[in-house]
Structure 1
């Protein structure tokens, strides 16, 4: 049995929550699935904007997604499965294998955000690696990273 509090998460924030009470930006454990051999897949919400209020543009989401993909592959190569866009345009879903500790995820997320601030280009933003390579903005990704980093102390204040 997985003890989410031992992993550093508030038990009452795991799962689907009423979007009218969510605060952003936040990082929360959305779900986990344990396999028969004991391996666990964790899904984490990386919420950037307040639901039903402010939405990320496609350019912001696209560039930020590239950085998250690059960063989680770099810093968590044994654990990273995928990063996905929230269709509501307010954040991302992070999927990890056998790593659900809040502190580890927060620390890597913070590293990635700091990397964005000093980046000179958006990773994979070229015709060979991206299906819409012209739709990127380093400046917009850096603005988002700065805003999310400034709220670092509140990332676990979900509702």
Structure 2
């Protein structure tokens, strides 16, 4: 049994929640699964925009932020990072980690990544040899999203 509270997560917000109640930006544990050897895979909801509020990320914002999250989590949590995926509704991202489920670690890494976006002079992995749609990035818009999410960091734990 995984002790979500000991990891910093409110157990009543783990799992699927009514999307009409979700707030953003927020960081929420979607779930955790222990394997046969005891390793735990954590799925974390990085919600940047409120669902169903006509405020989804544009495709270029989402694409550019995804590149920053990919580079940042790989660099900051190399032993734990499995992947990052865009939510189809374009309101955030799914982060998958192996063996690291502490909320403080996730939030600290996300903060560092978003602060890096603000000072970046280019979107990572945005060259033709690294990206299948390499012209489809917007650093200025990614910086605006990062600024918006960081400005509300104190509310990231306010899920509903």
Which residue is 2:14 aligned to? 14
User: Is there any run of 5+ residues in structure 1 with no aligned partner, and where?
Assistant: none
TM-score (norm 1): 0.99
Aligned-residue CA RMSD in angstroms?
A: 0.4
Q: Which runs of 5+ in 2 are unaligned?
A: none
Offset of residue 36 of structure 1: 1.0
Matched, 1:33 2:33: yes
- Deviation per residue, 1:9-63 (Å, 9 max, x gap): 0000000000001100000000111001110000000000010111111000000
Match of 1:120 in 2: 121
Partner of 1:89: 90
Structure 1 residue ranges (4+ consecutive) displaced by more than 6 angstroms after TM superposition: none
Counterpart of 2:72? 71
2:66 aligned with 1:59, yes or no?
A: no
Give the match's secondary structure for 2:57. Answer: coil
By how many angstroms is 1:130 displaced? Answer: 0.1
- Aligned residue pair count: 159
SS, match of residue 6 in structure 1: helix
Task: Confirm whether residue 107 of structure 1 aligns to residue 108 of structure 2.
Answer: yes
Hey, what's the Cα distance between the residues in 2 that align with 1:134 and 1:155? 31
2:5 is paired with a residue whose SS is: coil
Offset at residue 150 of structure 1 (A): 0.5
Equivalent residue number for residue 130 of structure 2: 129
